[in-house]
A and B are shown apart, each in its own frame.
Chain A
Amino acid sequence: AQSVTQLDSQVPVFEEAPVELRCNYSSSVSVYLFWYVQYPNQGLQLLLKYLSGSTLVKGINGFEAEFNKSQTSFHLRKPSVHISDTAEYFCAVTPMNTGFQKLVFGTGTRLLVSP
């Protein structure tokens, strides 16, 4: 089975400051990794994914994440945040051997960007 831990339930940050949202996972098999964003009363939107290759992955809206296999982490970063980045962010994994994306999500991190 897989589990995802997002230690920070809420991260306050000022506009134009950098931010890092942490994600750690546990799995007995290899996994693919994802970050999703959820705006209020909306569904989830894919920010980026790691399937293979370079461990530094770039996504939409200026976000990037780095896969660290030894630390089983997939932290999300943005060098300069905007007010519009205020949202809930979810890290997710899916085992490589299921044949489809059976996503396992963390509990989410609420990013609060203030002026």
Chain B
Amino acid sequence: EPEVTQTPSHQVTQMGQEVILRCVPISNHLYFYWYRQILGQKVEFLVSFYNNEISEKSEIFDDQFSVERPDGSNFTLKIRSTKLEDSAMYFCASMRGYTGELFFGEGSRLTVL
């Protein structure tokens, strides 16, 4: 069964370091998302990506964040200079059509020290 894969599963980094989280969405999907979940809190939307550009972003997604789909298969989230409050589980998700079912990856746990 097709699935969304994310790497790494867990990353520990020092405050101020750059982090790249990688996702491989399901191959025929067109809509891509990053969500995050701070420990003990609800899942929050970060950004959506369609047709090779950002279609929507939340107030959390500031200039420290960027997304890319560099090669038609990977979908990456970059955090330029991590802060303690960026510690969270980051989920990638993809969807074939605008009204379709959403498929999530297993998540990448980011710990910023």
Do chains A and B interact in one complex?
Answer: no
B interface with A by C-beta (< 8 Å): none
